Amino acid sequence: MRIILCGFGVVGQSLVKLFASRSDELYSKYAVKPRVVGVFDSKGSAVDQSGLKLDKLIKVKKRFGTVKNYAVKNNSMSGIEMLKNLEADVLIETTASNYKDAEPGMTHITTAMKNGMHVISVNKGPLALAFPSLLELATYNQVMFKFSGTVGGGTPILDYAKNSLSGERITSFAGILNGTTNYILTNMASGLSFDSALKDAQDKGYVEADESLDLDGLDAAAKLVILANWIMGMKVTLPDIDCTGIRKVTSKEIRSASKKNCAIKLIASCDKKLVVGPKEISNDDPLCVNGTLNAIAFTSEHSGTQTIIGKGAGGMETASSILRDLLDIRQEIARD
């Protein structure tokens, strides 16, 4: 499978390492031989239609901070130019999420689809702002659109709700969808102030470069949009979410909740309304997880409530979700 990789940060590099370390198994077990023909980062690109050397890509990125030094002649081909000029089967979109206009990910995805490429995205911006139209565009161009890494990282939340609960009618769901805010609130419950808990999370690299994505609930809201569309069949975008972050949660409120055997968590919920906001939940509730964990509880008509818990993010965890999507695409192509 010929692959164009847009974005070569932590997730992109983790994916290439995964391809390199599991190449024999992928071929023998799944008949998949990933051939990365183009990689684009913020400073340049590397292109080879016969397939880039994965180990060399990692070394070049580590040494120069960009892949453009991969070849003797520096390559300045943009992601759009790669998508228009290279022959490829799949675009893997890993650039940073942008909730204002979803660029450059939106143009990468739509260009790939219009050129007949299947798309795997872990970039939440385009899905948060235009999920219904992207699905329509994929259908119109007869390509597959996969995005399991956008919610829950390596934890298969979307697959679980869509496939393991198929035949059931999910009536509502609620969950902790942002590990950073969960880590901050957990530390506040242990006695740290908001500022100290935030600094600790920043020091550990948990907080986005634009901290408002975490603290103001935008990341959780984007994931709620994806879940509501994919699982509940809604047609909603980011402006449809009633969203409140954690900046105004006080230590006094945390202590008050603790006296009632509760904890304050940033909960994203889909019931009659789509809401993200701080909420008291019982310490005995399976949803009440600590640290950077994510948890989501699906309530269905006949099976009751089931909770899935796992790591919400991380380079290798998210890369594993991309590989899962790639194998799904390969299997569907083989069936067709």
Tokens linked to 83: 């998508």
What is the residue-wise DSSP string for 51-92?
---HHHHHHHHHHHSSSGGGSSS-B---HHHHHHHS--SEEE
Residue type at 142 in one-letter notation: Q
- The pLDDT value recorded for residue 74 is 64
pLDDT at 164: 83
* pLDDT on residue 335: 84
Residues ≥6 apart with Cβ < 8 Å to 3: 34, 35, 36, 37, 88, 89, 90, 91, 92
36-57 burial: b if 16+ Cβ within 10 Å, else e: bbbbbbeebbbbbeeebebeeb
User: 305: helix, coil or strand?
Assistant: strand
- Which residue numbers are catalytic? 223
Please give the average pLDDT of every successive group of 10 residues along the chain, which has 336 residues: 95 96 93 94 93 96 94 80 94 95 96 98 96 97 96 87 86 96 96 96 88 95 96 94 97 96 98 96 96 94 92 84 95 86
- What does the pLDDT look like over 230-273, one tens digit per residue? 999 999 999 999 999 999 999 999 999 999 999 999 999 999 89
Residue 264 carries which DSSP code? Answer: E
CB half-sphere exposure, 5, CA atoms < 13 A: 31
In order of start, what are the domains of the chain with their CATH numbers?
Answer: 2-153+315-335 (3.40.50.720), 157-311 (3.30.360.10)
- Grouping H, G, I as helix, E, B as strand and the rest as coil, residue 268 is strand
